[in-house]
Amino acid sequence: MKSARVVAVSLLLAVSVPARVAAAPRTADPLAAFMGRVAAAVQSDDLSAFEPLVTKDFDWGNTSILPLVTNYKCPEVTRWSFTPLERSDVSARVRLELEAVAIRVGRGTPAPLPRFWILDLSAVSGRWSIGAFSRLERDIASRIVRARPEERGAIFAADPDADPHVLIPELADVTVVELPGLIRRRYNGKPPADAELAEVYALRQFARGEARRLDSAADESIDLSLTAAFLRARGLRAEALAGAEEAVELAYRSGAADAMAAALLSRGLGR
């Protein structure tokens, strides 16, 4: 019997083909054929192309598909491949690699499409569907939010393909989106009054520490801006505004346009 590594390599070679030549490679493996449809959907530049590929309960509010479709136009996929990370008859976790360029919305210039993506898949009667579709850095951020505090640093640094300057903002966003539900499940729907905020502060401290380790005032600023939105939604307007003011100072220091835009918006909403 072939080892899992040999099977993964064989699949990788089998589907590493230009997307325009064959959206669904000729293969007896339904998973490989399904991933061909996913690659074709990425290139379609249309959210509706993904709709037949996702599960009925797919969470459109917490997926990297929306940023992919809204932030990039006219994608040109020159090559794609995938590697199964986990697989059974009814589920799979897959790493999708894309070699592609697209027009960055708001800038009008070609830019590389994010290269690595993580998909959680489920199969019913042999038909695969997407349960989660995340950029690599967002998937890592989700794992950090769910991890014990002592595990977070190792997870942050574990994947050399992850861009830490993308991972830090993703961590702040995932905290806002996923943490409330995580806390409710952790305490069976009855969390202590301060449990959520305590976790937000711990994750903010972790993200700021990583940003400072990278000597990136821009990353630290973006994290503060996004966290301020969470605090403001919880009624902590004074604390949120203080964080937004600090975010503006850091953004000015960095000179990064994205950080400045996020910080000024956060401060404006907090006043």
In this structure, the answer to whether residues 46 and 124 fall within a common structural domain is: yes
Would you state the pLDDT for residue 13? 36
Distance of CA 161 to the CA centre of its chain: 13
> Is there a domain that residue 152 lies in?
no
In this structure, the answer to whether residues 175 and 261 fall within a common structural domain is: yes
> Is there a domain that residue 10 lies in?
yes
Q: What is the CATH number of the domain that holds 106?
A: 3.10.450.50
pLDDT band (50, 70, 90) for residue 271: confident
Sign (positive/negative) of CA torsion 148, 154, 157, 159? negative
Q: Is the pLDDT of residue 48 over 60?
A: yes
Question: What is the mean pLDDT of the segment spanning 164-171?
Answer: 96
In this structure, the answer to whether residues 167 and 259 fall within a common structural domain is: yes
In this structure, the answer to whether residues 128 and 15 fall within a common structural domain is: yes
Number of neighbours of residue 228 by Cβ within 10 angstroms: 30
> Is there a domain that residue 157 lies in?
no
What amino acid is encoded at 53 in this protein?
A: L
**Which residues face 128 on adjacent strands?**
123
Q: Give percent of the chain above pLDDT 70.
A: 90
In this structure, the answer to whether residues 125 and 185 fall within a common structural domain is: no
Question: pTM for this one?
Answer: 0.85
> Is there a domain that residue 155 lies in?
no
> Is there a domain that residue 33 lies in?
yes
Span 100-156, pLDDT tens digits: 999 999 888 999 999 999 999 999 988 999 999 999 999 999 999 999 999 999 999
- Separation CA 131–CA 109 (nearest Å): 32
Q: Where are the beta strands (DSSP E) in the chain?
A: 72-87, 91-104, 110-112, 116-124, 127-135
- What domain count does the chain have? 2
Cα torsion through 195, 143, 159, 38, rounded to 10 = -140
In this structure, the answer to whether residues 105 and 61 fall within a common structural domain is: yes
The answer to which of 9-23, 176-190, 217-231 has the lowest mean pLDDT is: 9-23
Would you state the pLDDT for residue 270? 74
In this structure, the answer to whether residues 131 and 12 fall within a common structural domain is: yes
- Separation CA 135–CA 88 (nearest Å): 22
In this structure, the answer to whether residues 105 and 170 fall within a common structural domain is: no
- Work out the end-to-end distance of the chain between its first and last CA atoms, rounded to an integer number of angstroms: 65
Record the tokens describing residue 243, joined without a space.
């964080």
In this structure, the answer to whether residues 14 and 123 fall within a common structural domain is: yes
Would you state the pLDDT for residue 26? 57
In this structure, the answer to whether residues 8 and 131 fall within a common structural domain is: yes
Give residue 55's domain range.
4-135
- Separation CA 239–CA 246 (nearest Å): 11
> Is there a domain that residue 37 lies in?
yes
Selected residue with higher pLDDT from 246 and 9:
246
Question: What mean pLDDT value characterizes the chain?
Answer: 89
In this structure, the answer to whether residues 173 and 120 fall within a common structural domain is: no
- Who contacts 208 (Cβ-Cβ below 8 Å, separation ≥6)? 220, 223, 224
Contact assessment for residue 247 and residue 221, using Cβ atoms and an 8 Å cutoff: yes
Record the tokens describing residue 209, joined without a space.
């520490």
Question: What is the mean pLDDT of the segment spanning 215-224?
Answer: 95
